[in-house]
Amino acid sequence: MRLVILDNYDLASEWAAKYICNHIIRFKPGPGKYFTLGLPTGRTPLGCYKKLIEYHKNGDLSFKYVKTFNMDEYVGLPRDHPESYHSYMWNNFFKYIDIDPNNAHILDGNAADLQAECDEFEKKIKEAGGIDLFVGGIGPDGHIAFNEPGSSLVSRTRLKTLAMDTILANAKYFDGDLSKVPTMALTVGVGTVMDAREVMILITGAHKAFALYKAIEEGVNHMWTVSAFQQHPCTIFVCDEDATLELRVKTVKYFKGLMHVHNKLVDPLHSMKEEN
């Protein structure tokens, strides 16, 4: 497990975007060889998506041979609703890059058979060869995707009832009206994300500091589902300084020390130009 600490949100977003970019470039995707990427929604990844769009517009990164799988979607919200995760992904990312719409997989919260939809999603991930890099964010209560506190740490894609804390947190997207906030969602399971070859979790802001503390310094606990990734063989937590406020000074110094060793991260733009 690695913890990468950057000074602020913008730098954390850029670091994450470069990391994704590097992975895609080094994979050398092409016909019959797709890079498979798991993606989150919410406010945290917006800066990362903005940077990835920038790399694409500059001609430095293509998503033509990338398949994506999103973490979750609300149940019962029309696909074209401005707060659906379909709308979020297309309006904030997909419409600005060259991804084939058939390769952008998002759960259908209006499917006639929701369990069948979840099973089919798991099947599509397997058929794609598994996920190479799953990017995630967390809530203040440490949930990843919609795996709320108390979720099984070996769970698969399924229907979940949202916790009141999550409903309250999401009310800001629905004019502050709790009655408009969906109470159920389809979500990948903790086990689904754990199956990815690599996981990168973005955590920024002081309001996520206690969750980062629980994820890093305490043991694995199903009440803080993000803590499960302590047991993943290749997890990176990317955060800003504000998110480290609850960590011990010794912990922060330790991981910052490791960053000096790992800071051979190649700028994706230079790396690609060298390979070309």
The answer to whether 238 and 202 have CB atoms below 8 angstroms apart is: yes
Residue 274 lies in a domain: no
The catalytic position among 117, 122, 132, 148 is: 148
Two structure tokens written together for 170: 């999401």
Residue 112 lies in a domain: yes
Task: For residue 66, give the CATH number of its domain.
Answer: 3.40.50.1360
Domain that holds residue 175: 2-265
Residue 225 lies in a domain: yes
The catalytic position among 143, 195, 240, 242 is: 143
Number of domains in the chain: 1
Instruction: Give the pTM.
Output: 0.93
Residues 6+ away with beta carbon under 8 Å from 112? none
Residue 58 lies in a domain: yes
The answer to whether 183 and 104 have CB atoms below 8 angstroms apart is: no
Residue 272 lies in a domain: no
The catalytic position among 56, 72, 73, 132 is: 72
Tens place of pLDDT per residue across the chain (276 aa): 999 999 999 999 999 999 999 999 999 999 999 999 999 999 999 999 999 999 999 999 999 999 999 999 999 999 999 999 999 999 999 999 999 999 999 999 999 999 999 999 999 999 999 999 999 999 999 999 999 999 999 999 999 999 998 899 889 999 999 999 999 999 999 999 999 999 999 999 999 999 999 999 999 999 999 999 999 999 999 999 999 999 999 999 999 988 876 665 444 444 444 444
Question: Among this protein's residues, is 141 annotated catalytic?
Answer: yes
Question: Among this protein's residues, is 72 annotated catalytic?
Answer: yes
DSSP letters, 203-259, are: E-SGGGHHHHHHHHTS--BTTBGGGGGGGSSSEEEEEEGGGGTTS-HHHHHHHHHHH
The catalytic position among 122, 141, 240, 242 is: 141
Residue 273 lies in a domain: no
